[in-house]
Each structure stands twice: as C-alpha cells, then as structure tokens.
Amino acid sequence: MSSRLHEEEKWGIIAAWKKHGNMAAVARNSPYSYKRVKYWVDRYKKSGDVTARTSTGRKKAINTEAARLAVDLLEDVENFGTADLAAAELHRLGLTAGAKPVHRTTLTRAAVAQSAADGDKLELAQGEPDKELTADTKQKRLAFCLANLSTDWGNVMFTDRKKFAFRYPGTKHKSKRWIRKSKGGMKGNKCFKPTNPQRVNLYMGISKWGVTKVHKVAGSSGMKSGFCTKKGQPSRNITSAEYAQVLKKTLFPEGTRIFTGKGKAFWKLQQDNDPTHKKPAATQLAAWNEKHPGRTIDLLLNWPPNSPDLSPIENVWAIVQKQVDAIGCKNFKDFEAGVIEKLKNLDPHIIENLFGSMAKRIRLCIEANGDKIKY
C-alpha cells in the first residue's frame, strides 16, 4: 500500500484529516479509498510519522558459507543426511549463531535456496533406492537369456505373489533422501510409501491366452492363516505348505484350463526364487503330472534372481496398483475388492502386448551383458 504513494500524498491525507477531523470525509473528497485513508491516519496516530523507514532486516541464521556446507551435509547419507544432524554439525563448527542448532526447517530452506542460487536444485527424494546387480547375478541373467532366445513364450505362464498396499491419502511417508539434480535428482523416486499400510497378499498367473484366478495368502491384513511356522505358531506370511496349496488349488488347474482351451497339452510354469517355492514346486509338479497323463507341466528352468524387469507379471502388478489407487477407495474392504476385480478383468490387449515384449526383453538383457533393462 505504502509503495504506491509519494510522501507528499501521505502528508496530504494527514492534513485533510486534521482539517475535517473525519476519515470518511477525507475519503469522499479525495481520490483515496477509506481503507487507504484509515491506514495512513492510523499509522500517523501510532508513530507520529508516515515516512517509510528502511528496515535493516533480521540477520540471516545461516550465511552463504554455512548454507553451502549444509547442502553437502544433507547429501552425505553415511554421516549426516538429515536436517537435524546437519544443523548440529554446523552449530558444532561455529557456523551458526545461538546457544543451540538452527531448526531443521531453517536449515533446509537455506540449503535449497543456496543450491538454487548456485544454479542447481536440491531435492528430497523418497522411496527405496534401486539395488545394483552383482556380477554373479548379471551372469545368471545373461545365461538365462541366451538359453531362452528361441523360447515360445506362448507356452509359458508367469506367476508371482504381490502385496498390494492400501494407500489412502493421509498415511505417512518413509525413506527420504536429499540429493541435487546435477547428481541425478529423484530419479523417479517420488513413490508414495505409507508406513505400515494394510495389504492384500495375492498369487496369480498370467499367460498369453488368459489369467488365473487370484489366490489370497497369509500376509493379507485381517486374514488368519491356517498354516504354521516351524515353531508351530500361526504363520504371518507365506510358507512352503501354503505355496503347495497355491499350486495344487489354483496355479496348476487354472493354467491347465487356460492352455487346454488353446489346444496345448504342454506348458511351462515360471516362478521366482522365493525359498518357499523350490521344494513344493518339485513335489507338486511330479504328483500333478502323474495324475494327469497326456497333460504335462514343466518348470521354466534357471529363472535368475533380481529379475522383475524380465517378467511381464510385474508390469501387471504396477498397472493394477495404479488403477486401484486412482479409484481412491476409502476403506480396505473396497480396496481389496477393487484389486481382485481389476486383476480378473485385465485388458487382453495389455497381456498380449506384454508377452509380445518378451523377445525384446531377452535381447536387451543380452546386449546389456545381463544388467538391468528398462521394463
């Protein structure tokens, strides 16, 4: 308000007020609004002046030197990495005034502003960082891809277990990290990770020709497992015994239904390297094939560890989680029903495209010498 009037205009308002003794009268007989007149009259009554005073401003709690060091401290995950630890270190070094460290908000604001002033951008990344593949894992991935260059993926059913997290807005986030844009920024780690969300834990299989029913297992919120741990306690997660039931009751019969419907008497089952999978798969597979002569199920051998990018079912999980999150279910019951409904009614074109990408995935992995690929 004050920046729009010259000094003589402000004093003119005061002179008119003294003459009329009424702010409303001043407003009626001047180009100024009553609000503006009142502002300057009240200021005059309080201070006896209308001259704008130049403020020296409050001294910065963190100077340029300290702010630049704060950026480095926030990025030093091993030794600092948090605003509180960085603030304590600046205080220890005598770079901030006061009897105690500056507040974490003060520190992060200064660090972000200084980074921007230096032509960079300091960001708070959230989510678990990607794991680097070991040389041994890369070799296993490369060997698998070379062995499956000519595999007919139309004869394969990919299976997996997924814990779908109920992410209704309001739950907390975790896994945060400060990092400058010039050093990679958030790299897509804007993922929403609520603390201890409710989950539904499901097994399912997908093939080029269709999908199986879902099989709900231990680890689902509110579900009491009928299976026990080795110590005899009710299991809170999948066990080998329960996985054997998943194979026997769902994956084998559903897979047989799907492939038989396409005139295929032979098909392969892919499973990941979960420790609960190995023994049940071997025993249940032999028993199933013996009871169903003329129809054979085999395992897709040597599936490599840490290879979600090679499995199309991982894309299905991501698609469905996104679809259900978009619905915005307000309670877990509706969320669980939504997940199952979306999985049951997957678009056949999506499945077809995913299986159509298998040859490319294999080729790209070989070209990368077994390293991760973008799928």
Q: Where are the domains of the chain?
A: 2-47, 64-120, 135-171+196-367
32-43 mean pLDDT: 88
Q: Which pLDDT does position 30 carry in this prediction?
A: 85
- CATH code of the domain occupying 135-171+196-367: 3.30.420.10
> Which tens digit of pLDDT belongs to each residue from 54-96?
555 566 789 999 999 999 999 888 888 899 999 999 999 999 9
Q: Are the CB atoms for 75 and 180 separated by under 8 Å?
A: yes
CA dihedral 47, 50, 53, 58 (to 10 degrees): 50
CA nearest to 279, candidates 311, 234, 243: 243
Place of tokens 């698998």: 144
pLDDT of 337 above 70? yes
356-365 mean pLDDT: 97
Task: Give the least confident one: 38-42, 128-132, 240-244, 361-365.
Answer: 128-132
Q: Which pLDDT does position 61 carry in this prediction?
A: 81
Q: What is the pTM of this model?
A: 0.64
pLDDT, mean over the chain: 87
With 0-12 / 13-18 / 19 or more C-beta atoms within 10 angstroms meaning exposed / middle / buried, residue 172 is exposed
β-pairing, 199-207 with 156-165? Answer: antiparallel
Q: Are the CB atoms for 123 and 75 separated by under 8 Å?
A: no
In the chain, % of residues over pLDDT 90 = 56
> Which tens digit of pLDDT belongs to each residue from 174-189?
456 677 777 766 554 4
139-168 mean pLDDT: 94
